[in-house]
Structure 1
Amino acid sequence: MAYVALYRRWRPQGFDALVGQEAVRIALSNALTTGRIAHAYLFAGPRGTGKTSTAKILAKALNCEQGPTANPCNECANCQRINDGSSMDVFEIDAASNRGIDEIRDLREKVMFAPVNGRYKVYIIDEVHMLTTEAFNALLKTLEEPPAHIVFILATTEPHKIPATIHSRCQRFDFKRVTNADIEKRLREVADGSEIKVDDDALKLIAIQSDGGMRDALSLLDQCGVMADTVTAETVRNVLGIVGREALRELVRAIGNQELSAALQLLNRLTEQGKDVRQILTELAEYLRAVLLYKASPGYHEIYLTDTEEAIAGLAPLFANDRLMAAEERLHQALGELRFSARGRITAELCLFDLCRIEGSTIAALLARVEQLEQQVRSGVPLTGAAGSEQSNTGSARASAAPATAPAAPKVKLAPAVSAAPAVAAEPASESAVAPVEKTETVTTAAPAKAAAAPALEYSGDWTAGEDLWKQALELLKNEKKQSMVACAAGGFVTGYENGVLTVGFKNQFMCVRMNDPDYKKAFEEVLLRLARQSVRLECVTAAKPAAAKPKAAPRQQPPAEDIEPAVKAALDAFGGTLQKL
């Protein structure tokens, strides 16, 4: 006899065997017991949660020789025919491949015939949301006034796509994702009944990876069962291509210590082992989520499915809460970009670059950088230009504080965060550096507020054209759903546009640093090239808005009268207009 997959062999044969759908079981059992049988049901829920299995159980309960009953016998002829798929009264229709109006018209003609062997003719329409609008309209009248011997069971994973007119004529039952505990219990029963040796850790990992789908869990157990005599957690990882705790732990530690080189080497090693980039970033997001939840609530035992309590506790001090939030947002952004990226590895490498340097334009990323700067100040670590970004990259935040015997520094003057446009005079190197100082009252009063103020620029060049070009670029990026880039650039203001250089000022130093990063700068310059039809170099500087009035565009001269054609001249005289040469 041919081998039968576990999910088919262990399909529930009665309502009592349904896993994790207690509300559905009680409601349908009570309806059968009291005789309140509806003519149409809608089963909605994620894939693999038992919708089709429940539909077949309901069909048996309606046509069992002992019924209608909430406990079909599975022994009578009608139950046997439904189990082996030979019943002439139960029809399974795949709406994905039979979605047109012709198929529904054919169904409408056949529903008028009486059942062959049972009491009811049951039509199970799977993935019903795939039907066309015309097919739904053809089905509507039959659903509204069906023959007494007909029961429709519509199953779907996307109930929001079903027309309200169909929805209102069905009794809806929502199937929820099966809990990990219920999946583990059912897998143990199946493994013992199928003589598959499997560890408890392996069952727990299978339950997590199945994401609430009982069918997916059984299929994964079936696949792992042929890989080894005893299925272990390592067997499951090999089958799924999971990164694993040890490698993730090492990667998270490298990110926490801001060791970009180590993180990139780990990424390279994992990809060489055949791990998928999306899987790596997904598991990294899950691990960082476990660290964040540990810091918030160590007693939340759900996080220890990711790693042991000791391992997570050892990594938690490397991260502040804001940094973890920023990391999660950056990872989710990278996972979204992978759908459209031709080279997923590049996306992953840029993501690790940002995670190690606490880059990003979100509020969480900005708060994380502010928190890091405050920690450096408390530790006595000197700050340099660009908000200490170079020190962050090399891990200098962990450097020792300045000697206590160092003399009090003179007034401290902060340098601009980024390279300014030629119009901005650069500060001397001796003044822009911040010398190590003693942490005393003198330091807090040494730097006047004026030192932190950004220099003011003056409007230059064809400012009007530059302003229009910048607004068009932001609008284009907004339409392309690049919200993070738009949010970062929204605080900029154009101060000049000449010689193919668009100068944009930012009051916020962090935004300016991010805009000058190669990835953002290249992306914006590509958009400007598309709009201006010529190469435009973007220069972002930290500066206050110019106080001077904005320059007005030079008026265009009226062409000489002798150059104007007579017909055009007559139109100008009639309507009082002017002609401008472009």
Structure 2
Amino acid sequence: MEHIALYRAWRPQSFQDMVGQQHIIRTLQNAIREQRLSHAYLFSGPRGTGKTTTAKVLAKAVNCEKGPAAEPCNECEACRRITAGAVMDVLEIDAASNRGVEEIRDLREKVKYAPTEVRQKVYIIDEVHMLTTEAFNALLKTLEEPPPHVMFILATTEPHRLPATVISRCQRFDFRRVSLEEQAGRLKMICEQEGITAEEDAIQYICRLSDGGMRDALSILDQIASFTDGHVSYEQVMSLTGGIPSKQFAQLAQTLIEGDVGSMMQIIEQLMQEGKSADKCMENLMYYFRDLLMIKTVPQADKLTERVLDPEDYREMAHAFSRPQLFRIIETLNHYQTEMKYSQQPQMLFEVALLKLCSIPQQESASGEGAGSAAHVAEASEIKQLKQQLVELEKKLEKALQGGLAAAGGGGAQASSQASSARSSRGASPRVSSAAKIPSGMDRYVAQKDDSDTAKVQSKWHQVLQAVKDEKVTIHAWFMNGEPVSVLEDAILVAFKNEIHRETTEKPAHKGVIEQVLERQFGKPYRLVTMMLKDWSEAIQSGTAAPAQPLELEHEEEQGGSKEPWVDEALEMFGEDLVVIKE
């Protein structure tokens, strides 16, 4: 008797025989019972998941002589002839071979005629995504409004290639991959019926190789059963399908942990001698480390992968790697797998990839997993070091300022002598001093302190400071120490708490910027006049101007500077943007 392939011999002939698509079967059966069948269906999903089989069973169910019934009887003349493909009113069309507009026009003409052998015409168009654009356009009107005696069933593995106008005219059903448990149960039943003895591990591995396709699983089982004379073992399945046992991957992983390049090269050579392809080895090895990562990261992760036969072995190996290591390994393998597609020496790239994995630093082992990757550790260490240096510099600067102010308070002549010697030691040219007294007409400024012009300036002082900051942030840093105390005609008197801030503000370049801002803010030109806040307070208390006290202002060098040498040192070392002077 002629042998029939297992996937053909065991093709489901009723809905109850189908595996893994219960959500679709139940919907179709309910539609048949309630007589709510659609005129057009779209079956999409991976190969070997039952799209065309479901279409034929549905054709039998709507045309069964005992129906329409939720299950075809497979005994009446109509069911038997549809199964044999002998009914002219149930047409299965291969769109890959009949993809032109002429074939679709011919179909559109024949649709008009009533069925001659069964109750309803059924057109099953397989691989419908292969139709041309013109063929789809020719099919659209008929697909939307076919005669009442016609049903269209479109099947495709690539629904995204179909025009949206076609999809919108159909009821769409998405077929999913058959689960491992359902596939294994079906294969065991078929093995019992066919007299094939198969090991549990062999059936599990066949199901994994099929990638959720029942037809692929039956084809692999049929091939191995023919070679082994009815006895299917795990080793035979691995040998015939070119698979690699997880033990060999575990050996490779162990060589990576130990950095044993010699043993690793021997294992690769052994795999090549056994006829394994380098690209398949790369793919399987990447899946192996992916499963290690899943088991290490997620509890009960053996349920999330269909390749793990012995979870305990995987857990032991996963414990030897850190998560950062596994991420780097998978990224490296993925990179070289992509390169391998365009290489004429795939084995060499496979070897280079594994050699590169051996160079992963040992400090990224599982014991150091909590510390993160080496890059993150180095970055954190560098930031910490910079922070420590900044704290030390701030302490030194504060100490220098305190020591300098104390020396200045001890005697003006001594401080001046030290400043001159410090400038001479740095090669600075001596500065020319000019006496600047407290502003003349102090009694008039005191009289204007509560005037409306003064109040107006004080109310908008925040905007003035912000405008100065927008012009130059370094000027703002010095100027913000002052506050407006009086406005007299075209002059604004600003009192400062700190003498250094006042001196820096009085620099011609800085003063010019501030006076420009004042003119823009108040709509008229104002001169900036400054004094010390303590002198202003004394003037208010006495009601008259304080005795004239000379303020030593020095003409600036080309690169700027201040009277105190320690301030010059700080500015020279760190720049104006980083130096903040406190009282």
Match of 1:308 among 297, 307, 310: 310
Which secondary structure does the structure 1 equivalent of 2:49 belong to?
A: coil
How far apart are the structure 1 equivalents of 2:368 and 2:36? 68
Q: Which residue number corresponds to residue 422 of structure 2?
A: none
Number of aligned residues: 376
Offset of residue 449 of structure 1: 8.0
* TM-score of the pair, normalised by structure 1: 0.61
1:288 aligns with 2:289: yes
Q: Which amino acid aligns with 1:79?
A: C
After superposition, where does 1:45-194 map in structure 2 within 5 Å? Answer: 45-194=45-194
Q: Which amino acid aligns with 2:50?
A: G
Q: Which residue number corresponds to residue 277 of structure 1?
A: 278
Deviations 1:307-327 (A, max 9, x none): 534422332343110110111
Alignment CA distance shift 1:36-1:310 (3 Å) = closer
Q: Which amino acid aligns with 1:80?
A: R
Q: Which residue number corresponds to residue 319 of structure 1?
A: 321
Q: Which residue number corresponds to residue 227 of structure 1?
A: 227
Higher helix proportion: 2
Q: Which amino acid aligns with 1:113?
A: Y
Q: Which residue number corresponds to residue 205 of structure 2?
A: 205
Alignment CA distance shift 1:200-1:20 (3 Å) = same
Q: Which residue number corresponds to residue 331 of structure 1?
A: 333
Offset of residue 374 of structure 1: 10
Deviations 1:257-285 (A, max 9, x none): 22233222211110111011122112211
Structure 2: runs of 5 or more not aligned: 379-383, 391-583
After superposition, where does 1:140-539 map in structure 2 within 5 Å? Answer: 140-228=140-228, 229-302=230-303, 305-358=307-360, 371=364
How far apart are the structure 1 equivalents of 2:244 and 2:389? 50
Alignment CA distance shift 1:116-1:322 (3 Å) = same
How far apart are the structure 2 equivalents of 1:267 and 1:197? 33
Q: Which amino acid aligns with 1:282?
A: E
How far apart are the structure 2 equivalents of 1:296 and 1:232? 33
Which secondary structure does the structure 2 equivalent of 1:42 belong to?
A: strand
Alignment CA distance shift 1:233-1:22 (3 Å) = same
Deviations 1:453-483 (A, max 9, x none): xxxxxxxxxxxxxxxxxxxxxxxxxxxxxxx
Q: Which amino acid aligns with 1:25?
A: I
Which secondary structure does the structure 2 equivalent of 1:226 belong to?
A: helix
Alignment CA distance shift 1:16-1:370 (3 Å) = same
CA contact (8 A) 2:108 2:142 kept: yes
Q: Which residue number corresponds to residue 561 of structure 1?
A: none
Offset of residue 369 of structure 1: 8.3
Which secondary structure does the structure 2 equivalent of 1:160 belong to?
A: helix
CA contact (8 A) 1:290 1:304 kept: no
Q: Which amino acid aligns with 1:161?
A: R
How far apart are the structure 2 equivalents of 1:288 and 1:237? 19
Offset of residue 304 of structure 1: 8.3
Alignment CA distance shift 1:135-1:108 (3 Å) = same
Q: Which amino acid aligns with 1:288?
A: F
Which secondary structure does the structure 1 equivalent of 2:227 belong to?
A: coil
More displaced stretch, 261-270 vs 302-311: 302-311
How far apart are the structure 1 equivalents of 2:290 and 2:99? 42
Alignment CA distance shift 1:55-1:37 (3 Å) = same
CA contact (8 A) 2:105 2:138 kept: yes
How far apart are the structure 1 equivalents of 2:164 and 2:245? 45
How far apart are the structure 2 equivalents of 1:135 and 1:70? 33
Offset of residue 301 of structure 1: 2.9
% of aligned pairs identical? 47
How far apart are the structure 2 equivalents of 1:299 and 1:138? 53
How far apart are the structure 2 equivalents of 1:307 and 1:266? 22
Deviations 1:543-569 (A, max 9, x none): xxxxxxxxxxxxxxxxxxxxxxxxxxx
CA contact (8 A) 2:321 2:366 kept: no
CA contact (8 A) 2:295 2:302 kept: no
Alignment CA distance shift 1:375-1:189 (3 Å) = closer
Deviations 1:55-77 (A, max 9, x none): 00000011110111111110111
CA contact (8 A) 2:88 2:117 kept: yes
How far apart are the structure 1 equivalents of 2:167 and 2:296? 45
How far apart are the structure 1 equivalents of 2:159 and 2:175? 11
Q: Which amino acid aligns with 2:267?
A: L
RMSD, aligned α-carbons: 2.5
How far apart are the structure 1 equivalents of 2:269 and 2:389? 46
CA contact (8 A) 1:286 1:306 kept: no
Q: Which amino acid aligns with 1:292?
A: L
Structure 1: 4+ residue segments shifted above 6 A: none
Q: Which amino acid aligns with 1:348?
A: F
Offset of residue 371 of structure 1: 4.0
Q: Which residue number corresponds to residue 421 of structure 1?
A: none
* TM-score of the pair, normalised by structure 2: 0.61
How far apart are the structure 2 equivalents of 1:145 and 1:67? 25
Offset of residue 40 of structure 1: 0.5
How far apart are the structure 2 equivalents of 1:372 and 1:285? 19
Which secondary structure does the structure 2 equivalent of 1:177 belong to?
A: coil
CA contact (8 A) 2:321 2:365 kept: no
How far apart are the structure 1 equivalents of 2:141 and 2:368? 70
Q: Which amino acid aligns with 2:134?
A: E
Which secondary structure does the structure 2 equivalent of 1:295 belong to?
A: helix
CA contact (8 A) 1:95 1:125 kept: yes
Offset of residue 357 of structure 1: 1.4
